[in-house]
Structure 1
Amino acid sequence: MTSDSGVYTLKKLAAMGWSPDDIKRGRQSETLIPVARGWVRSATADPRVVAAVKAGGALSCVGALRFHQAHDSSGIWVPPGHNETHVRRSKHMKGKPRPSGPFRWCQGYGQPLPVVTAVDSIPLALNCAARCLTPEEWIATVDSVLSTTEWTIPDIQAEMGRVAKAVTGMFARCDDRSQSGTESIARLRLIAAGFEVQVQPDIGTHEHADLRVGALLIECDGRAYHSDAEAFRNDRRRDRMTMIDRWMTMRLTYDDVLYNWEEVLEDIRAVTRSDRHRIRRDNDPRRRENSSI
């Protein structure tokens, strides 16, 4: 067995080199445990994958993306929440009752496809996720796939099945330069607010910021970000360097972007408005004192 879901079709086991006698002995020894017709699992199989196959489908959508995040050593970003077991049922289960449980039944655009693996591939999972996630969540997830794996948009589209017009439109808003989900969402929200946003702008030799709006550099920390002493010093060195070059830097946390955006947006507007410096001078009490002399 490999470090995968632990749930297999009998056809897959045969392709892995298991003979019919091997499979029979595995069942007798409970090394292989029946899950559904034509499916077996190992004793250590992923319980969500087992539940999806028992329900007549494959783990898909957000569930499959989280599985690939955990098992493929990739940096795929998956939005918080969406904690149900997301299942794409096989086309052969059409019309059959759905079992009860903490399931979310997902179906991508186009005709239902057969289930041949216990966990959907990243393209199939993204096709389902396009109907489960908000557009900004989906785009941020695709950004992370493009940035941290070898998948390209044409590759993903080729394996998705039907690519709906709505999905094509979201692909057009993706950017493989984005370095985190929070950066992607901040970019999308700033653009929606009317800002012209530069992604990964140069700030020095071999160095880049996350985003730039006018003279404001925006650095976005992901949820997994933990600043050690060296990273802390490097961040402050970068801040000094950008200040010398007359840039301003605003650092945003995961919670700032996902849960406190309206306040953050007002702060960005306050910093970037064209008359900001004139207003500050007019409100400077020392200036008022001088003008009254």
Structure 2
Amino acid sequence: MSTPTTPPVFFRRPDLRARGWTDRDLGAAVADGRLLRPRPGAYLTADASTDVIDALALGGRLTCVSALAHRGVFALDTSVLHVHLHTRRTSARTTARVVRRHWGTLRRVPHPRAASVEPLDALACALRCQPPRSALASLDSALHGGHLRMDELDELFRLLPRRHRVLRRLIDARAESGPETLVRLLLRSLGAAFDVQVFIAGVGRVDFLVEGWLIVECDSREFHSDWDAQRRDRRRDQAAAALGYTTFRPIAEDIIWHPDVVRSALRGLLDSRRGPAARPRRPAV
């Protein structure tokens, strides 16, 4: 399990003055770029992300998929900036970015200097804003990464409409990435028998072992882009082939944006063993 990342924070003028900064120091630091001041009285370090800068400038905090992505939780589309505001009336500046504003009472009160809402509130928002498959991937990712505990699920689902309850029985915190969750749903829709995170002697741990013979590995640029990683993967595939396994490596880009293509490939592989008359036994999720 990965270690939860540190949430983004900002500094208020009294905080910095208590640390010995004078108004002249603050002005000089902003002028030379050592500090950023997205709104009066709020300061950020120079390495702050654009999302955090814009959320503070708009008078709010990161929420929904924007808050999840900042913590390393899977979110399908982060092109829109999601900001939680305290009030519908604000004198904060506007931005050229596409912004979705959220209001309402938070379940968890953020730290006064937090630039993001707490994970429980971010998830409750993101599950509403995303399609069901992506919402489930965010849930798996948050649980696997330690941003949400299993004993918080009751509280989370009480914050959601009843239609979201179907997602709960599909949760699997063993998924190590969003694409793994999406592939799991594709396999379910094909009626395939499979297990996840399976250790095979001589090969190592694989993402999926399907019907006892098909290995499915979800490849992403983050872990499979350099030649050393590709060489290691090909040798693993070679070792698996020697044991009678077939390996399929769909890339994350296709899993996320072209799921029908990946599903067709999986169906073709499975039908090669099942026979041409094979049909999916479960409906698509």
Q: TM-score, normalised by structure 1?
A: 0.71
SS at match of 2:200: strand
**Structure 1: gaps of 5 or more residues:** 70-75, 279-293
Alignment of 1:8 onto 2:4: no
**Structure 1 counterpart of 2:69:** 66
Distance 1:4 1:140 in 2: 21
When the two structures are aligned, how many residues end up with a matched partner? 261
Superposed displacement of residue 228, structure 1: 4.3
Show the 5 A alignment for 1:169-180.
169-180=166-177
Check the 8 A contact 1:123/1:156 in 2, yes or no: no
For residues 146-197 of structure 1, the C-alpha deviation after alignment (integer angstroms, 9 at most, x for no partner) is 3334642324765x59532445442432212112222211111221343333
Amino acid at match of 2:43: R
Distance 2:210 2:157 in 1: 37
SS at match of 2:224: coil
Alignment of 1:86 onto 2:88: no
Q: 1:52 to 1:105 in 2, by over 3 A?
A: same
Amino acid at match of 1:138: A
Show the 5 A alignment for 1:160-171.
162-164=158-160, 165-171=162-168
Distance 2:53 2:257 in 1: 34
Distance 1:210 1:133 in 2: 24
Alignment of 1:143 onto 2:140: yes
Q: Which of residues 229, 253, 256 in structure 1 aligns to 2:254? A: 256
**Structure 1 counterpart of 2:281:** none
Distance 1:43 1:264 in 2: 42
Q: CA RMSD in A?
A: 3.7
Alignment of 1:209 onto 2:211: no
Amino acid at match of 1:7: F
Amino acid at match of 2:78: H
**Structure 2: gaps of 5 or more residues:** 1-5, 278-285
For residues 252-284 of structure 1, the C-alpha deviation after alignment (integer angstroms, 9 at most, x for no partner) is 112331233323322222221254399xxxxxx
Higher RCO (CA 8 Å, separation ≥ 6 residues): 2
For residues 94-125 of structure 1, the C-alpha deviation after alignment (integer angstroms, 9 at most, x for no partner) is 466896432433548x7456664222233222
Amino acid at match of 1:130: L
Superposed displacement of residue 234, structure 1: 3.3
SS at match of 2:140: helix
**Structure 2 counterpart of 1:283:** none
Check the 8 A contact 2:120/2:148 in 1, yes or no: no
**Structure 1 counterpart of 2:18:** 19
Q: 1:99 to 1:169 in 2, by over 3 A?
A: farther
**Structure 1 counterpart of 2:126:** 129
Q: TM-score, normalised by structure 2?
A: 0.72
For residues 190-240 of structure 1, the C-alpha deviation after alignment (integer angstroms, 9 at most, x for no partner) is 213433332123322682221122132211102323354543343233323
Alignment of 1:245 onto 2:243: yes
- Which of the pair has more CA radius of gyration? 1
Q: 1:7 to 1:167 in 2, by over 3 A?
A: farther
Q: Give me the identity figure in percent.
A: 24
Amino acid at match of 2:42: V
Check the 8 A contact 1:7/1:49 in 2, yes or no: no
Superposed displacement of residue 130, structure 1: 1.2
Check the 8 A contact 1:8/1:40 in 2, yes or no: yes
Superposed displacement of residue 247, structure 1: 2.3
Distance 2:250 2:157 in 1: 37
Amino acid at match of 2:188: I
Check the 8 A contact 1:106/1:128 in 2, yes or no: no
Q: 1:183 to 1:4 in 2, by over 3 A?
A: closer
Check the 8 A contact 2:198/2:205 in 1, yes or no: yes
